[in-house]
Amino acid sequence: MNSIELKIKRLENKFSDIPLPSYATEGSSGMDIRAAVDEKIIIEKGKIALVPTNLSLEIPLGFEIQVRPRSGLAIKHGIGVLNSPGTIDSDYRGEVKIILFNYGHEDFVINRGERIAQLVIAEVIKAEIKESVALNESRRGEGGFGHTGTK
């Protein structure tokens, strides 16, 4: 299994009791990241919350981190990452904050240290842009938005 070094900086010592992102199992592709809050955050149904983590990352050039929802929060409470997957670029050094949305039917409470999302490291491939007056034909052509049907 491949690995890279990921440097993580805690921004405030008052949250040093909150574990750093970690993999729950050997086969996990995402690291759980936790809320760094003094007081609980209530996300009302149908509302958005920006949840701090008290962490800044140094992601190696050529990689990004994707922020994805936790499946347990999604199925049990309707909590998702609004811009899923969110992207943390390798040159960003500010605090990682998670944009959560409550798709559920009840308000949701986030407590200090609660696992709120997962982080997946992904390699980045940059495109070489070439303007063209014509594109190669394909079987699909310009068909989109359900053109293949539902059955």
Q: Which tokens hold the place of 13?
A: 């010592």
Q: What's the pTM? A: 0.89
Instruction: Please indicate, yes or no, if residue 149 is contained in any of the structural domains.
Output: no
Rg (C-alpha) for the chain, rounded Å, is: 19
Instruction: Please indicate, yes or no, if residue 141 is contained in any of the structural domains.
Output: no
Instruction: Please indicate, yes or no, if residue 2 is contained in any of the structural domains.
Output: no
Residue 50: CATH number of its domain: 2.70.40.10
Number of domains in the chain: 1
Q: What does each of the 151 residues of the chain score in pLDDT, given as a tens digit?
A: 789 999 999 999 999 999 999 999 999 999 999 999 999 999 999 999 999 999 999 999 999 999 999 999 999 999 999 999 999 999 999 999 999 999 999 999 999 999 999 999 999 999 999 999 999 999 888 888 777 766 7
Q: Where are the alpha helices (DSSP H) in 1-151?
A: 71-77
Residue-number span of the structural domain to which 62 is assigned: 7-123
Residue matched to tokens 């958005």: 48
Cβ 63 vs Cβ 90: under 8 Å: yes
Cα separation, 4 vs 124, whole angstroms: 14
